Structure 1
Amino acid sequence: MTTISPLAVSDRSEWDALWADYLVFYRRELAPEVTDDVFARLTSEDGLHGAIARDETGRAVGFVHWLFHPSTWTTSSSCYLEDLFVAPDVRGGGVGGALIAHVRDAAEAAGAEKVYWLTEESNETARRLYDRVATRTGFIHYEIEL
């Protein structure tokens, strides 16, 4: 049975291990001070939110991060699910779906209009889940690095 709870300062070492695997998965490197800042913001209620998933033994097996922002298309907020990661050895066991449901519940409680996220086209494993729990919008993501 998976349990999900708000990310706490005491979760740091387990979150660090999952975060490191997440960055490897997306082929990214971050300076240690960026990781420190991210974790501090996730656990300080400054607008970023985080939750950690644990299996029946208490082992951390996944996390999710999200934020709310205003929208020009509605009078309520939107919820952006920014990061979602599940340990490879438990993928396909419902942890990812439970983490998404956790964010959906938080967004609904906050009165948000929608929850949305991005993923790489090649992330086929995750996309199978996403296609079951959400609607693919057909939008294409662009960005400008600054």
Structure 2
Amino acid sequence: MMDIKIRAVNKDDKSRWLELFADYITFYNSKLTDQQFELTWQRINSDFNINCLVAELDSKVVGFTHYIWRPDTWEEQDFCYLEDLYTDPKVRGKGVGRALIKAVEDIAIAKGSKRLYWTTAPDNELARTLYDKIAITNRVEYKIYLNK
């Protein structure tokens, strides 16, 4: 089994994070300005409500996730929205995505959140293969909301 280390992003990760985030944006056939990339980087390295975890294999960052907290009108505790999840294509199928999701789940449970959720494109079959294997736990619900 691969030794995957999940940790909070730090300022030394900027160039690798930028490379992976740019690949993620390209994967979705989208474009961001350099200013938006920089704004996102500044936000995840501040008290702004965007958090980032990275995954390491052999001391190299190979994936990331961004997640945010959002209030809910029915619950006292915020829900956790996993906004972005991306792994280097060279390490797909090695548990990196699952480890990143599990780390966010653990954070959400520790905060008392009752829901962890995310969206994906209906045609993102590779990601959906992983997501479809992740079941509802006793405290956190996993869902896929498909755009129809």
TM-score (norm 1): 0.90
Aligned counterparts, 1:103-122, within 5 A = 103-122=104-123
Change (3 A) 1:90 1:137: closer
Aligned counterparts, 1:117-132, within 5 A = 117-132=118-133
In structure 2, C-alpha distance between the alignment counterparts of 1:63 and 1:97, rounded to whole Å: 11
Structure 2 residue runs without a partner (length 5+): 137-141
Q: Percent identity?
A: 38
Which residue in 2 is equivalent to 1:31? 33
**CA shift at 1:73, angstroms?**
2.4
Which residue in 2 is equivalent to 1:98? 99
- SS of the residue corresponding to residue 30 of structure 1 reads coil
- SS of the residue corresponding to residue 79 of structure 1 reads strand
Structure 1 residue runs without a partner (length 5+): none
Which residue in 2 is equivalent to 1:72? 73
Aligned counterparts, 1:24-63, within 5 A = 24-55=26-57, 57-63=58-64
In structure 2, C-alpha distance between the alignment counterparts of 1:42 and 1:51, rounded to whole Å: 10
**CA shift at 1:47, angstroms?**
1.3
Which residue in 1 is equivalent to 2:139? none
TM-score (norm 2): 0.89
CA contact (8 A) 2:119 2:144 kept: no
Aligned partner (choices 21, 24, 27) of residue 22 of structure 1 = 24
Mean alpha-carbon deviation: is it higher for 99-108 or for 43-52?
43-52
Moved over 3 A (4+): 134-142
Structure 1, residues 102-144: CA drift from partner, whole Å, max 9, x if none? 10011111111110000011111111110111457575548xx
Which residue in 2 is equivalent to 1:12? 14
In structure 1, C-alpha distance between the alignment counterparts of 2:144 and 2:45, rounded to whole Å: 33
Change (3 A) 1:141 1:78: farther
RMSD: 1.6
CA contact (8 A) 2:55 2:100 kept: yes
